[in-house]
Amino acid sequence: MKIIVADKIASSGVKYLRNLEDLEVIEAYGSSSEKILELAKDAIGIIVRSETKISREVIESAPLLKAVGRAGVGVDNIDIEAASENGVVVLNTPVGNTIATAELTFTHILLGARQVAQANASMTAGRWDRKVYGGIEVLKKTLGILGLGRIGAEVTSRAQAFGMRVLAYDPFLTESRAQQLGVEALELDEVLKVADFITVHMPLTDATKNMINKDAIAKMKDGVRLFNCARGGIISQSDLIDAVESGKVAYAGLDVYENEPLAEDSPLREIHNLVLTPHLGASTHEAQESIGLEIAEALYEAVKGGVIQNAINMPSVDSKTLEVLAPYLHLGEALGNFLQQICPDRIDKLKITYFGNIIELDENPLTRSILQGYLKHISGENVNSVNAPILLKQLGVENDVVKSNEDSDYNELIVLEATDSDGKSYSVEGTLIGKAGEARIVHIHEWEVEASPEGVMLVVQNDDVPGIVGALGTVLGKDMVNIASMSLSRNAIGGLALNVVNLDTAPSEAAVKEIESLEFIKSICLVSL
């Protein structure tokens, strides 16, 4: 079996692979795309960092390829869709850089307080500008943390050790988790308004892209200090430049950028009160040793058919178990994803109940698949079936799993129920139907439906009056959106009804607002699976 190490990882990882008798290890650092394409033809595994791109062409030219391992978190340089289509497992190392990134973040915070980098540049230029580089103390200052996952939590503990007050914004953070960490959980605008220092620790998603823009910055204190060691694109670089130059933002620190490497002529390089580092989040000896060994071990387990760890695009189970579980895993992930999009951002408890034949299976991979689906739009690329339970716990959400022997209307049934802090519950139920085992949603809250959990879905609650279906069809038709299928449900004539509409394409924002404004429409939710 041939393993290609395309980008340089810690020597401990390479040594581990070389000590395995059944492997041929090719270190191909700095190889061209053409060279990687040639080497991949008979490779069973490839390890990369951020430099080498594993494209569809590479994957499809490698019939023996079983796994691609990313020594790091981000997998932007790997074609996940192509890998999935070709049965190639994509692995990453989501934990190894936690401490390194947290420490780099706090280094940026201290640099922003004391202008050490600017003073050093002045000294090396031969000047003695002692009176120019005054600073502030972090003691008793307020730090706003946007995103309280594992890195945000580590930054919190360091800030508290320096005597800082910590505020946190995380739409999925429960009050119990906030109390456990000793932070004040507030809405985004409140954190922006109060914080002296603000640091970002969120994944880059559609919801967080350019989240910190000119409008957000305008809500901040004059002289705020702003930092991003998470993902480029969360802070609008052009708006940050304007804010620093105007003095609204006193200092800023960036380790990540919208496009990397940062262009030589980037205007960011010309700003005096901005400290830039070249994506050093995981660049410590300890982190690299941990990441290098972790990805080597995980890749070997994956290619030899063992237990798969830290998989991005499939559950972490062996191939034989996967064959049996596959349709249930698809159903479970879809149900989790669907539920998260129709319930409030903050929930306290997620209950999973299995009925029928499904209780005879190993529920652990299935439960993890459900949690992965639930967290998909919350944690972005960081979530997989291995770390989903940990990420859910970090949000402070209690997870309860029940195997029920009670009778149900189906041979196998999965019931998901989310409960918020007020005790209000939101539920979805799903099953497999027919010989092909096709996934179906059969209950949403109190309504009985039959809908395919796939693609774009419109979930509409309305008064049970004539003309609703026609009104929906008219708006969607005008928007050139085709209806694939529709499930209608009511519990009583003239009561509240539910429409679940599968669409070929997503409607425009204007169309959604038009539907929402229609008479008798009580609520509308656009779900994307």
Catalytic residue positions, numbered: 231, 260, 279
Query: Which SS3 state, helix, strand or coil, does residue 422 take?
Result: coil
Positions of E strands within 203-348: 224-228, 249-254, 274-276
Distance CA 49, CA 45 (A): 14
Tokens 């004391």 identify what position?
A: 114
Expressed in percent and rounded to 5, the helix, strand and coil fractions of the chain are: 35, 25, 40
- Cβ atoms of 290 and 264 closer than 8 Å: no
Query: Which SS3 state, helix, strand or coil, does residue 344 take?
Result: coil
Distance CA 99, CA 76 (A): 22
CB contact set of 43 (below 8 Å; sequence gap of 6+): 2, 3, 4, 26, 62, 64, 65
Please calculate the CA angle 60-64-67 and round it to the nearest 5 degrees. 85
Burial class (CB in 10 A: 0-12, 13-18, 19+), 63: exposed
Identify residue 205 by its one-letter amino acid code.
T
Distance CA 353, CA 180 (A): 28
> Is the preceding peptide bond at 507 cis, omega within 30 degrees of 0?
no
Distance CA 297, CA 434 (A): 40
Distance CA 250, CA 135 (A): 11
- Cβ atoms of 234 and 202 closer than 8 Å: yes
Closest CA to 391 of 43, 148, 217: 148
Distance CA 159, CA 168 (A): 12
- Cβ atoms of 406 and 415 closer than 8 Å: no
For the chain, give the number of residues: 529
Distance CA 331, CA 273 (A): 51
DSSP class per residue in 221-257: PTTEEEEE-S-TTSB-HHHHHHHHHHTSEEEEEES--
CB contact set of 263 (below 8 Å; sequence gap of 6+): none
Distance CA 280, CA 52 (A): 18
